[in-house]
């Protein structure tokens, strides 16, 4: 699974980083970024939960 955050859509609410801090963090601009491009198997469900929690749909996942 690959993941990235659309910076134009992100509002920096931090839900994704709170759910899956192995993959997401808030950068200096206050927006979420993916710390990894390819998600480890152990983090797949947390990434799915983060996608579901994103209020703007800014997280893009590719299987």
Residuewise pLDDT in 10s, the chain (63 residues): 999 999 999 999 999 999 999 999 999 999 999 999 999 999 999 999 999 999 999 999 998
HSE (side-chain half, CA atoms, 13 Å) at 4: 5
Total domain count for the chain?
Answer: 1
CATH number, domain at 14?
A: 3.30.70.20
HSE (side-chain half, CA atoms, 13 Å) at 46: 16
Domain span including residue 14: 2-62
User: What confidence score (pLDDT) does residue 6 get?
Assistant: 98
User: What confidence score (pLDDT) does residue 12 get?
Assistant: 97
């Amino acid at each position: 699974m690959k993941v990235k955050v659309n910076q134009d859509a992100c509002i920096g609410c931090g839900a994704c980083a709170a759910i899956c801090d192995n993959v997401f963090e808030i950068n200096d601009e206050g927006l979420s970024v993916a710390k990894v491009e390819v998600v480890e198997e152990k983090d797949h469900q947390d990434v799915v939960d983060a996608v579901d929690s994103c209020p703007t749909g800014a997280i893009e996942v590719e299987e």
